[in-house]
């Protein structure tokens, strides 16, 4: 499963990194505490969060996530968007809640 397919299935909107959506999504991590995501998420995870400030990009780069999905209709602020574009981290948004997004993605990855 790659991000293009996930975006299509969940009707996610792409905010940046549209050229890197062919990355393989090996798993998912949902959480809003940066220290927790730093500690527990894995390489290749798609990170589902409602945190939109720029610090999320550094976490995602360090953990080598496949991409970030912002939930609950949150939009990345200007700095977040700039950083994510520069670092090549795909940033997608949805009006779904974190539970709903994680629930659906999990079930797409584990049919």
Applying CB under 8 A, the residues found at the interface with another protein are 27-33, 35-36, 40, 48, 50-53, 72-74, 77, 95-100, 102-107, 110
CB of 9 to another protein, least distance (A): 14
Pairing verdict, β 13-16 and 91-93: antiparallel
For residue 69, what are the CA distances in angstroms to 20, 21, 27, 39, 65?
A: 14, 12, 13, 19, 11
Nearer to another protein, 18 or 109 (CB): 109
CB atoms within 10 A of CB 29: 17
Nearer to another protein, 40 or 86 (CB): 40
| Biggest distance spanned by C-alpha atoms of the chain | 37
CA distance 47 to 57: 11
Nearer to another protein, 19 or 107 (CB): 107
Nearer to another protein, 1 or 72 (CB): 72
CB of 19 to another protein, least distance (A): 26
CB of 39 to another protein, least distance (A): 9
């Amino acid at each position: 499963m790659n991000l293009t397919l996930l975006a299509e299935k969940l009707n996610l909107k792409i905010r940046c990194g549209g050229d890197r959506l062919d990355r393989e999504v090996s798993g998912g991590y949902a959480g809003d505490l940066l220290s927790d995501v730093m500690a527990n998420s894995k390489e290749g995870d798609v990170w589902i969060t409602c945190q939109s400030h720029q610090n999320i990009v550094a976490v995602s780069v360090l953990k080598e996530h496949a991409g970030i999905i912002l939930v609950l209709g949150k939009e990345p602020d200007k700095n977040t968007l700039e950083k994510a574009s520069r670092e090549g981290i795909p940033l997608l948004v949805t009006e779904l809640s974190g539970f709903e997004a994680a629930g659906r993605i999990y079930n797409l990855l584990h049919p």
